[in-house]
Amino acid sequence: MTDLANHAAPEPSGSLVTASAPAAPSAGLPAPPPPAAWPPPNATVVAYDVSKSFSGLVAVSNVSIAITPGVTGLLGPNGAGKSTLLRMLSGQIKPSSGSVWVAGGDPRADADARGRIGLVPQQDGVFEREKSIDVVSLAAVLSGLDQPKERAAHALGLVEMDPALTRPVGTFSKGMRQRVKIAQALVHDPAVLMMDEPLNGLDPKQRRQMIELFHGLGDQGKTVLVSSHVLDEVERFGSLVIVIAKGRLAAQGDFRAIRGLMDNQPLRVRIRCSHARQIAAALVASGSVIGCRVDGDEQIEVTTNDIRQLRLEIAPFAKHYSSRLEEFLPLDDDLESVFRYLVGER
């Protein structure tokens, strides 16, 4: 890992990292020394303290990440810096500062490392007058593969596209064009696949197929990094997420572990039970909830600062009032809540 071997980042990607990206060192001072365990030995994508500015505008600031094989979601709102980060990781642009190491080397300087990357950019970038088989075959030729037509047909099959289609790509729907781009990225069987909003324009069935494909690639030991601003998409990619907000690293790791940090925040819980009004009154009187809304005779939505106490109290109250307790559902356990928490929209 050459120049990155002596650098630091907060933690390996498999563990939980929260808070903002590492603080930028004072002007003229070097970055702090690294912990010996970072990056993890099986990391295939590493960025250390990378920043990128365009004409004085900072798009990415002091981001350090380490990504291991499997599927990782890159999450952030539009304009957060996701595309800029992907462009640095894939070698398309040079960081203003910091270091990048992917699949064995610096993708800007090492052709072998660059050849192990498959890239799906957000822009279309396809030859609109050509057939899909020819577009993907060209990608195979540029990768130095033999039997490019056969390789292209296989890649198109992976994305559920018929290689015998004779229509030019320019007549394809947005979803079909997206799948051609994914096939281009897969044709040379890359070790690392980076995709920028690859599900844009796909219908629900196609999204499901592509997500299954991404998981299959991850199960094969490939590193799949998928960016999206759509929360439920990222949740379906898997539990490992990198959250970028305003150009900085907000968190990296398992979003369920990140969710655990929210236990000191007010949480919402839906309770379905009979005798809802009596149960709600008992919870308010006990002080285990700070807010309560009763919806009819069988549903309560409460807000609590102590979900553990609420869990302990709900069953005895239900027994006391001969209430049938059917559901106790935390409403803040999803990725949307985690995201709002991390970017400060609490």
pLDDT in tens, 157-167: 999 999 999 99
Q: 66-88 pLDDT, tens per residue?
A: 999 999 999 887 788 899 999 99
Predicted local confidence at residue 285, as pLDDT: 93
Residue scoring higher pLDDT (209 or 27): 209
Tell which residue, 157, 158, 164, 159, has the closest CA to residue 133: 164
Q: Which of 62-76, 145-159, 238-252, 256-270 has the lowest mean pLDDT?
A: 256-270
Predicted local confidence at residue 252, as pLDDT: 85
Cα–Cα distance for residue pair 121/103, rounded to 1 Å: 19
Predicted local confidence at residue 17, as pLDDT: 40
* Percent of the chain whose pLDDT exceeds 90: 53
CA triplet 129, 204, 89: central angle to 5 degrees? Answer: 65
Please, is 51 exposed, middle or buried when counting C-beta atoms within 10 Å of its C-beta (0-12, 13-18, 19+)? buried
**pTM across the whole model:** 0.71
Q: List strand residue ranges (DSSP E) for 191-313, in order.
A: 192-196, 223-228, 240-245, 248-254, 267-273, 291-294, 299-304
Q: List strand residue ranges (DSSP E) for 11-56, in order.
A: 17-18, 45-54
Whole-angstrom distance between the N-terminal and C-terminal Cα of the chain? 39
**What is the rounded average pLDDT for all residues in the chain?**
83
Please, is 137 exposed, middle or buried when counting C-beta atoms within 10 Å of its C-beta (0-12, 13-18, 19+)? buried
Dihedral sign from CA coordinates of 261, 267, 272, 277? positive
Predicted local confidence at residue 323, as pLDDT: 92
